[in-house]
Amino acid sequence: MSTDKVSVHGSWASRWVFILAATGSAVGLGSIWKFPYMVGVYGGGAFVLVFLACIALIGVPVMLAETLIGRRARLSPANALKVLAVEAGHSGRWSWGAFAGMITALLILSFYSVVGGWSLDYIINMGKGDFEGATAGQVGAYFSDVISNPWRLTFWHTAFMLLSAYVIAKGVVAGLERSLRIMMPILFVLLLVLLGYSMTTGHFMEGVHFMFDFNPDRVLDGLLAAMGHAFFSLSVGVGSIMIYGAYMPKNASISGTVVGVALIDTFVSLLAGLALFPIVFASGLNPSEGPGLMFVTLPFAFGNVAFGQLMGVVFFVLVAVAAWSSAISLLEPMVAYLVERTKVRRLWVTFWLAFSCWFVGLGTVFSFNIWKQAKFFVSEESGFHLYQWGAASGLDFFGVVDFLTSRIMLPLGGLCFVVFAGWIMGRGAVRDELSMRSPVLFALTLFLMRYVAPLGILIVFAAQLWK
């Protein structure tokens, strides 16, 4: 295949735009919300160290695989795998793995939009001063009121989905590139403002010690959690990085660029922890609160510290921008695929896909209120039931979609891409795209893609299913 081929959708102006795009895809709720609370739950510095090792051994090889496949083919993920597999003398059915990955991205977007909508709601109410002087119980009751109101959730879910669709509909250069050039600098500035504020709380060094003090006895506590989060934090496994790689200039170094993205994403995660934990400590709260950290613990903290109202608005704008930049990367792979296959205008493809995601997302909206009693995969003494209304156990609609995507489809997608790059494309094609001058470094990279990353993904997959 000619390696100077150009994507029909357009291309990034430079490697730095790819870095902004890939970082925007990777830096989402996982970096701003999930990473800090996982550090709190799994023992601070020990978890951070294991996480960094897993990023290098699992996350980066999969990200390299996606990027080089995308740039080699200059097509959407499903078409890329089909064309490259046939070129290498293998079955075009490898495209099925990429197609499943794109479906996974849409399913994730369906509930990601709902959670992103929560952040928009909190921006307004934090700005109005609703949390000033509030007790922990009042903040918890506020969150319960938010998720129990289907109309309120639907409004913000709709607003967030429209924001994401607007960017995608305008195309690669006018939409994605232009918006990311604005969004990502804003994200970094907001994070630095929040970090600067944390330094004034009097508890900054307490946060530093909490994140980086190393306790060797706790290394194994969060090993599997760190492996899983390292894989998910870089936004791999759904084709988002692959389609962004398809828009990457030929003269840009894939290996250097991907390592840069991984470092920036990790840096943002660490900064988020350093910015948030001192605020938590200043309010006398527990940093190991878990998933409630963002929507219950932190609003209470901001409501009870100096300048908390302003900093709370800054934080939730930061969360919204991070979620927005990730959401557009989830929609782009399938939009690109359908534009290639149907030749329908990008605007209409985006509209119908966004509407489909929005519609499926209503299931997540209703999971917290009118469908709260609807449970799937119920296991009771009377036996196993696929669905049962009012059961004490089982998963709600949101839980089912989250389980299928995060524990099954995402790991399988990442496994498909890294195996394809490591074993199916051929050594010559991989070497040509990576353009590594050092034979030793290339051999090490290929070893990671062929053996280490697949093994790590299989361990994560088995552990997620076991849980």
Residues 304-343: tens digit of each pLDDT: 888 889 999 999 999 999 999 999 999 999 999 999 999 8
Average pLDDT (133-155) is 92
- Largest Cα span, the chain: 67
Q: Interhelix angle for 150-169 vs 95-127, to 10°?
A: 120
pLDDT at 218 over 80: no
Buried b (16+ CB within 10 A) or exposed e, 28-47: bbbbbbbbbbbbbbbbbbbb
Average pLDDT value for the chain: 90
Contact 220, 42 (CB under 8 A): no
pLDDT at 97 over 90: yes
Specify the pTM. Answer: 0.93
Q: Is pLDDT of 362 > 50?
A: yes
pLDDT number for residue 333 = 97
Q: What is the pLDDT of residue 467?
A: 64
**Token pair in block for residue 234:** 């870089």
Please check the confidence at residue 373 and state whether its pLDDT lies above 70.
yes
Q: Decide if 71 contacts 254 (C-beta within 8 A).
A: yes
Q: Is the pLDDT of residue 185 over 80?
A: yes
| Spatial CB neighbours of 312, under 8 Å, sequence gap ≥ 6 | 122, 126, 131, 298, 299, 302, 303
- Which distant-in-sequence residues (6+ apart) come within 8 Å of 422 by Cβ? 65, 430, 446, 449, 450, 454
Class of residue 342 by CB neighbours under 10 A (exposed 0-12, middle 13-18, buried 19+): exposed
Q: Residue 253 half-sphere exposure, CB side, CA atoms within 13 Å? A: 9
How confident is the model over 107-115, as a mean pLDDT? 95
| Residue 385 exposed, middle or buried by CB count within 10 Å (0-12, 13-18, 19+) | middle
290 pLDDT band, cuts 50/70/90, is: low
- What is residue 8's DSSP assignment? T
- CA–CA–CA angle 21, 319, 221 (5° rounding): 95
pLDDT at 2: 43
Q: Is the pLDDT of residue 274 over 50?
A: yes
Q: Can you tell me the distance from the alpha carbon of 289 to that of 312, in angstroms, rounded to the nearest whole number?
A: 18
What is the β-pairing status of strands 383-389 and 374-380? Answer: antiparallel
**Position 201, amino acid:** T
Please tell me the distance from the alpha carbon of residue 411 to that of residue 389, in angstroms, as a whole number.
31
Q: Alpha-carbon distance 250 to 67, whole Å?
A: 12
Which residues are within 8 A (CB) of 141 and not within 5 positions of it... i.e. 6 or more apart? none
Q: What is the DSSP string of 432-462?
A: HHH--S-HHHHHHHHHIIIIIHHHHHHHHHH
**Range in 345-354, 366-375, 388-397 the model is least confident about:** 388-397
Q: So where are the chain's domains?
A: 15-466
Q: Which residue has the tokens 């890939």?
A: 22
- Would you state the pLDDT for residue 245? 95
C-alpha to C-alpha distance for 239 and 329, rounded to whole angstroms: 9
Angle subtended by helix axes 410-419 and 223-233, to nearest 10: 70
Element (H, E) at 317: helix 308-342
Q: What is the DSSP string of 384-396?
A: EEEEEET-SSSB-
pLDDT in tens, 62-82: 999 999 999 999 999 999 999
Which pLDDT score, from 0 to 100, does residue 379 have?
Answer: 83
Residue range 15-466 forms a domain whose CATH class is mainly alpha
Question: Do residues 327 and 117 make contact, with C-beta atoms less than 8 angstroms apart?
Answer: no
Going by pLDDT thresholds of 50, 70 and 90, the confidence category of residue 385 is confident
Judged against a pLDDT cut of 90, whether residue 443 lies above it is answered with yes
Instruction: Give the per-residue pLDDT at 156.
Output: 97
pLDDT of residue 289: 64
Determine how many CB atoms are found less than 10 A away from the CB of residue 214: 12
